[in-house]
């Protein structure tokens, strides 16, 4: 087990509620020039969860599970900025009101632009939720560090999830991290160039069929851990040859130009400290027994 500063990170409570579906109430135009009106960002999504394919749905930017926000009328202001910055993938969530009171779930990650965090709850719980219900997040993870690998930066990552990831030491400078997919740098689109990666996501572009087929991008599932090759996320999202970033898939494939499955960053380095290895089971559903791997009671 890799040593971390887990005993020094802060844990506190954040409050949010399910965020209604968002739409501009007009046609959108896909990268192939065809207009569409389809379900997309936000909502309590009943039939999609982590472990399901991120492709093939009649939708655009679909968020699996429950899309949560602190204030749907002020998504870019306090307290939603705190919810975005300090909630981390793997954090525990608990419903504290309504018919689903007492039910627990797990944070998957953040979706930029919509300014949602996405929480996995069981299908039974989702059917009981309303958009007025309150949810508490046990936020912890920002500030987490590897003690023996200071060049590798961690973010948006609960220590519990980190422990479940299949990470192995190679030597004093590098580690193996299990991922389902290695994404070439040229495929990274919307969100590239952001000032930091401690909230939100950026998209794997899927508008080129040959590239999708070559790298098997259409096999990606919600909750997959993926490696973004030649991408440095330490101080923003940027191309850098030799860098590697590890992220988690938080939303579906998209029809809009420059978009595709969304990735929340969990780990990054600027050279060869992270060496990804392919493992088809490298998905938060398998690691934490949620989503498609949850046993419904």
Burial (CB < 10 A; 0-12, 13-18, 19+), residue 34, is exposed
Class of domain 6-140: mainly beta
**What digits encode the pLDDT tens for the residues 212-266?**
999 999 999 999 999 999 999 999 999 999 999 999 999 999 999 999 999 999 9
CATH 2.102.30.10 fits 153-288, yes or no: yes
* pLDDT, tens only, 112-164: 999 999 999 999 999 999 999 999 999 999 999 999 999 999 999 999 999 99
The domains of the chain are located at: 6-140, 153-288
Burial class (CB in 10 A: 0-12, 13-18, 19+), 150: exposed
The structure's pTM equals 0.96
């Amino acid at each position: 087990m890799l040593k971390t500063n887990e005993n020094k990170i802060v844990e506190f409570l954040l409050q949010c509620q399910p965020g209604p579906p968002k739409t501009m109430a007009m046609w959108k135009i896909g990268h192939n020039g065809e207009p569409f009106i389809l379900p997309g960002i936000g909502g309590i999504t009943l039939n999609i969860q982590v472990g399901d394919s991120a492709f093939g749905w009649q939708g655009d930017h679909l968020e699996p599970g429950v899309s949560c926000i602190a204030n749907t009328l002020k998504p870019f202001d306090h307290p939603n900025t705190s919810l975005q910055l300090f909630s981390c993938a793997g954090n525990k969530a608990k419903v504290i009101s309504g018919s689903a009171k007492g039910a627990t779930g797990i944070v998957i990650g953040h979706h930029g632009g919509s300014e949602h965090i996405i929480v996995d709850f069981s299908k039974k719980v989702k059917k009981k939720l309303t958009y007025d219900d309150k949810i508490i997040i046990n936020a912890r993870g920002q500030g987490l560090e590897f003690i023996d690998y200071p060049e590798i930066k961690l973010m948006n990552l609960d220590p519990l999830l980190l422990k479940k990831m299949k990470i192995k030491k190679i030597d004093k400078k590098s580690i193996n991290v299990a991922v389902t997919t290695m994404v070439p740098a040229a495929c990274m689109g919307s969100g590239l160039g952001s000032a930091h990666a401690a909230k939100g996501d950026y998209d794997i572009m899927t508008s080129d069929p040959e590239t999708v087929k070559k790298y098997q991008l259409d096999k990606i599932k919600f909750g997959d851990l993926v490696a973004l090759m030649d991408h440095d996320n330490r101080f923003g999202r940027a191309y850098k040859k030799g860098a590697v970033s590890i992220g988690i898939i938080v939303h579906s494939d998209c029809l809009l130009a420059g978009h595709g499955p969304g990735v929340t960053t969990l780990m990054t380095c600027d050279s060869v400290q992270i060496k990804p290895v392919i493992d088809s089971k490298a998905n938060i559903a398998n690691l934490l027994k949620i989503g498609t791997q949850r046993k419904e009671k």
